[in-house]
Amino acid sequence: MAERFSKRQGLWAAALAYGLWGILPIYWKLLSDVDPLQILAHRILWAAVFCVVLLMGTRDVKSLRKALGTRKHVLLVLCAALLVTLNWGLYIYAVTSGHVIESALGYYINPLLSVVLGGLLFRERIDKWTAVAVGIAAAGIVAAGLLYGKVPWLSLLLAITFALYGVTKKKLNFPPITSLALETFFAAPFALAFLSVVHAQGKGAFVGAGLDVSMLLALAGVVTAVPLLLFGVAATSISLQFMGFLQYITPTAMLLLGLFAYGEKPNRAIVVAFAGVLVAVMIFAGTRIHAARSVGEKVQGRGSP
């Protein structure tokens, strides 16, 4: 069902999506005075509106009915909508409450988790170095939990929800606009109901908090939809392992923002967790680069006279 994109297009789409997500904390920080649940509801609602505009522009409304032709597809779309909503909510809470570094840790863990899921669910090859990298990352998380006195649930839940969202998108294999539209359409009624109750109580931030806040909430739909559409292109055209490799763009940008733009100071447990995960990342990235070069050299050798 999905549009066919080349691997090159998928790689560029993934890189751009992760780059945009990496700087997104700047946007949500501007809304720090707004209740995170209201931000989440507006994000869902305006993303749905933006998808309607896109579908009308492409005249592809019929694809929605085709996409929901089986019970399996309906259940997968529901799962995708639930997972992305949970991930958005956790992420918005993390950023607006001053936990950008913890959210960065979650998105450092996520690529390694995606590699594991790719091997388990899509039979993508997991070599010994990848297994070592995943083991080191897990050890860092366990050590952090012991130092912290509790499991770093915020980081882990961000990683788990987004990794499972990537799996669901890959299984659906829908055109990006269709997939995102269905996800936001399923969640939009709940978002609208919540906002209606909040505004009826006189606590709504939209309009009530001023023009600048209202504009930021309304534009949250575009800010949300564009990288997710790019992610949808990537998820249907490249492997989860390649996506996992490129995803390091996001947490690196978030980590730098947390440290240098927002002055967050990581505690000892987070430092230990980062140490384990970053060592794992270097092993994984280094072995991927080496493998890619080896393949390139073999292809060159075959093509030489």
What span, in angstroms and rounded, lies between the C-alpha atoms of 270 and 276?
A: 10
Question: Any alpha helices (H) in 149-248, and if so which ranges?
Answer: 153-172, 176-200, 211-235, 240-246
Measured at the CA of 293, the angle between CA 290 and CA 298, to 5 degrees, comes to 125
pLDDT in tens, 58-74: 766 777 777 777 888 88
Give the position of tokens 């309009």.
Answer: 207
Mean pLDDT (the chain) is: 82
Give the predicted TM-score (pTM) of the model. Answer: 0.79
User: What does the pLDDT read at residue 299?
Assistant: 40
Which residues, at least 6 apart from 14, have a Cβ–Cβ distance to it below 8 Å? Answer: 230, 231, 233, 234, 238, 242, 243, 246, 247
Q: Which of 114-123, 223-232, 275-284 has the highest mean pLDDT?
A: 223-232
Which residues, at least 6 apart from 147, have a Cβ–Cβ distance to it below 8 Å? Answer: 268, 269, 272
CB 246 within 8 A of CB 14: yes
pLDDT in tens, 93-136: 999 888 888 888 888 788 778 778 887 887 777 778 878 887 88
Question: Any alpha helices (H) in 59-152, and if so which ranges?
Answer: 62-67, 71-96, 100-122, 128-148
Residue 8 has pLDDT above 60, yes or no: yes
Q: Where are the domains of the chain?
A: 7-123+150-259
Is the model more confident about 213 or about 304?
213
User: What does the pLDDT read at residue 20?
Assistant: 93
pLDDT in tens, 167-203: 898 888 777 788 888 999 999 999 999 999 999 998 8
In this structure, what token pair is assigned to residue 137?
């990352």
User: What does the pLDDT read at residue 174?
Assistant: 79
The stretch 79-96 carries a mean pLDDT of 92
Classify residue 17 by its DSSP letter.
Answer: H
Measured at the CA of 69, the angle between CA 68 and CA 70, to 5 degrees, comes to 95
